[in-house]
């Protein structure tokens, strides 16, 4: 059975600076899935906003999102494009 890829955007909010290194390590582990990445520091609020465009099997996207979401002071949510996109 062939596994088809999905396109998704993973949105990450980092409130804990100490988690940035672990976050970058996870993104590096999944680099084959990453289409693009954009980070915006919100210094006045003490947070970092990151969006990651992904093209990968749904289970890989879900695994990455879950691992990132378990980091201390990090929130992650994923939005999938409609299937067939």
**Tens digit of each residue's pLDDT (9 = 90 or more) over 12-33:** 999 999 999 999 999 999 999 9
**Tens digit of each residue's pLDDT (9 = 90 or more) over 33-84:** 999 999 999 999 999 999 999 999 999 999 999 999 999 999 999 999 998 7
Going by C-alpha positions, the residue among 3, 10, 8 that lies closest to residue 71 is 10
Read off φ and ψ for residue 42, nearest 5 degrees: -110, 80
In a domain, residue 85? The reply is: no
Where residue 31 sits, what CATH number does that domain have? 3.30.70.1150
State the pLDDT at residue 32: 96
In a domain, residue 55? The reply is: yes
In a domain, residue 11? The reply is: yes
Give the number of domains in the chain: 1
In a domain, residue 49? The reply is: yes
Q: Look up the domain containing 19 and give its range.
A: 5-80
Which residue reads 């002071």 in tokens?
A: 73
3 pLDDT band (50/70/90 cuts)? confident
Q: Give CA separation, 62 vs 40, 45, 56, 79, in Å.
A: 23, 28, 10, 11
């Amino acid at each position: 059975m062939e596994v088809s890829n999905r396109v998704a955007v993973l949105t990450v909010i980092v409130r804990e600076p100490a988690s940035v290194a672990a976050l970058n390590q996870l993104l590096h582990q999944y680099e084959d899935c990453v289409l693009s990445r954009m980070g915006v520091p919100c210094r006045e609020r003490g947070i970092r906003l990151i969006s990651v465009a992904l093209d990968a099997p749904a289970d890989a996207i879900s695994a990455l999102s879950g691992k990132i979401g378990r980091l201390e002071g990090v929130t992650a949510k994923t939005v999938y494009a409609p299937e067939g996109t």
